Amino acid sequence: MAKNDSLNKLKEQEREARRDLIIGAAERVFSKKPFNAVTIRDIAKEAGISHALIYRYFPDQQSIFVEACIRRGAKIVEFVARLIDENRNISIEKITERFIQYLIDNDRYFRMMTHFMLDGSLSREMVERLNAGERILLDQFDRIFAKMSSGKGVRMLSHAYFAAMNGILITFRNYPGRSREEIARHMRELGRIIAQKFKS
């Protein structure tokens, strides 16, 4: 009995390792190519496996994309929640600075989401899964704005804040003639200015 349990556990670990391999490859491909141009064959080639093997784990590229987004999104939620929980009196400026730096440091995820925002389309079911993940992140921003305001319109503030942070990165991530450090510093400074506006 113990031998069967060990074998089943090993098979499950192998299955998870293959899923992780596929999702990692998908992130790299989706970060380089327009969303609607990515195929299962592209992902398989990047992963170094046959495209037929991918279908054992995912029905299509949309489901791989959403799974990658949910996994990465969960890490962002964890990061923001930890910032708030571990620093009860943290300012919105400091949260903004760290959030922008997090997105800079996780450029592949940001590129992947940008390609999707610009030209992606998903089935209704996949959109709902993606939206559910986004709502969890917005809930964290709600916590920040609930402390700062009377509680009215908190979700709209969270939407505006999230859009502003994405806008900074989209607009300035390839600022011509600047080093990566100068770009990062510029984006953090823009974030500080925007955060102060949200305070008022």
Query: pLDDT 10s per residue in the chain (200 long)?
Result: 566 777 778 888 888 999 999 999 999 998 888 888 899 999 999 999 999 999 999 999 889 999 998 888 889 999 999 988 988 888 899 999 999 999 899 888 888 887 787 777 888 898 888 889 889 999 999 998 888 876 678 999 999 999 999 999 999 988 999 999 999 999 999 999 999 998 87
Burial of 81 (0-12, 13-18, 19+ CB in 10 A): middle
Q: Which pLDDT does position 72 carry in this prediction?
A: 87
Q: Which pLDDT does position 184 carry in this prediction?
A: 93
Q: Which pLDDT does position 151 carry in this prediction?
A: 67
d(CA 43, CA 112): 13
Q: Which pLDDT does position 188 carry in this prediction?
A: 94
Residues 6+ away with beta carbon under 8 Å from 184: 100, 101, 104
Beta-carbon count within 10 A of 168 CB: 21
d(CA 149, CA 48): 51
Q: Which pLDDT does position 150 carry in this prediction?
A: 63
Q: Which pLDDT does position 1 carry in this prediction?
A: 59
Find, among 35, 53, 37, the residue nearest to 45 by Cα.
53
Taking a C-beta distance cutoff of 8 angstroms, is the pair 4, 45 a contact? no
Provide the 8-state DSSP code for 37. G
pTM comes to 0.81
Q: Which pLDDT does position 96 carry in this prediction?
A: 94
Check if CATH label 1.10.357.10 holds for domain 61-199.
yes
Q: Which pLDDT does position 108 carry in this prediction?
A: 83
Where are the alpha helices (H) located in 152-200, listed in sequence order?
Answer: 154-172, 180-199
